[in-house]
Structure 1
Amino acid sequence: MSNVTVTTWSLEQTAPTDLLPAIAPDGDVRIVRAEIPSPEFSRFLYASVGGDIRWTDRLAWSYQRWQEYLDRPGVETWVAYDRGTPAGYVELDAQDDGVVEIAYFGLIPAFRGRRIGGHLLSYGVARAWDLAGRGSGRTETKRVWLHTCSKDGEHAMDNYLRRGFKLFDTKVEEEPEVAAPGPWPGARAV
């Protein structure tokens, strides 16, 4: 198996005023919190959004592992719907000391390039900043951060920078090359 060089960038916002919101897209795009933890739905989102960009770390998670993760206080999933169809999601993970990680963010391939991503990211970051008000057990959010890598979509980094994130770390590592699994075993990778 061959290796591939992967660059990972970590970005952050340190105040709610850092957020530079995107303009909402035209049409019937809504963003709704998935308030009932559902391993099936979360795995669907993860596999559908990340299938073509080699998200593989959670594919082996058991139902129980998904449920335990989703049941943690401060873990929230916000889903963008385009005319009633799931288009993408942003997953928040509250950490210690007022830190919230944007653990996962992205769009299902068919919904990319429609200006939904900037809107969804803006909405998700705003929810990270006001997470304490939704029973997360946190008093306030002091920092919102995320990481992206060279395997992610071609517009990911630009979207993060346009939303006001600042780069704070860069790592370059060799990783085993993994074929894009698609949204489910046997699916055609885009």
Structure 2
Amino acid sequence: MALQDVPAGHVATIITHLEMLEKPVLPATGSGLELTSWPDPAVEDYRALFRKVGEPWMWISRLLMDESELKAIIEDPAVEISIIRDSEAPVGFIELDFRVAGQCEIAFFGLVPEMNGKGHGRWMMNQALNMAWRDGIERVWLHSCTQDSPRALPFYRQCGFRIFRQQTDIMEDPRLTGHLPESAAPHVPILK
């Protein structure tokens, strides 16, 4: 086995891709949260919520995108975004991507840190799966990575997803490029 050094200023990630090929029987769940459609959000509003949800896990992809590229995705009619609210406050979102025929990617799924660990995840996943499994969909998939919550991968598997692929990536550490504060993703070491 050959080990590969991670260059200073970079971070290594293992990405795990998971799928389900038929709609599972969904357990009854409840939550005090509210889910509503969020069609064509303004880029700055989308990025603000993306950052609030993803900063602890070093979500960076949508923060690095050119504004016009991101706008094209979030305004695409085949991409459906739902916002999760606690009373009026936005506390999370679900983004479903139907741009590949017969498939739905759960592109993003998350809550702000203060809402995690309170039992809302299963309710959110049931909402996502009910929206994803529609006529013509044969596969629902998502991915997680080592920069995500350590509870994410077991949670997705509990929900009925199975692993079909893993990949590795090395990227510039966004905490050192100024895209995220150095306090983001404290579980991921910074290699200066």
Q: For residues 50-69 of structure 1, what are the structure 2 equivalents within 5 Å?
A: 50-69=54-73
Query: Is the 1:4–1:176 Cα contact (8 Å) retained in structure 2?
Result: yes
RMSD: 2.6
Q: CA deviation at 1:78?
A: 1.3
Paired AA for residue 142 in structure 1: E
Q: How has the CA–CA distance of structure 1 residues 180 and 81 changed in structure 2, closer, same or farther, with 3 Å as cutoff? A: farther
Structure 2: stretches of 5+ with no match in the other structure? 1-7, 186-192
Shift of 1:100: 0.8
Aligned length: 178
State how far apart, in whole Å, the 1-side matches of 2:114 and 2:163 are. Answer: 29
Identity of aligned residues (%): 28
The answer to whether 1:12 aligns with 2:19 is: yes
The residue type equivalent to 1:65 in the other structure is E
| Superimposed CA distance per residue, residues 62-86 of structure 1 (whole angstroms, 9 cap, x where no aligned partner) | 4332321122121011121122211
Q: Letter of the aligned partner of 2:16 in structure 1? A: W
CA distance in 2, matches of 1:175, 1:148: 16
Match of 1:162 among 158, 170, 181: 158
TM-score of the two chains, using structure 2 as the length reference: 0.80
Q: 1:22 to 1:59 in 2, by over 3 A?
A: farther
Larger Rg: 2
Q: 1:124 to 1:91 in 2, by over 3 A?
A: same
Q: Could you tell me whether the CA contact under 8 Å between 1:93 and 1:100 is conserved in 2? A: yes
Indicate yes or no: 2:118 matched with 1:114. yes
Cα distance in 1 for residues equivalent to 2:48 and 2:25: 29
Distance 1:181 1:33, change over 3 A: farther
**Where in structure 1 do 4 or more consecutive aligned residues deviate above 4 Å?**
184-188
Alignment of 1:1-190 (within 5 A): 1-16=8-23, 18=24, 20-21=26-27, 23-25=29-31, 28-130=32-134, 140-179=136-175, 189=184
Distance 2:140 2:11 in 1: 29
The whole-number CA distance in structure 2 between the counterparts of 1:114 and 1:30 is: 15
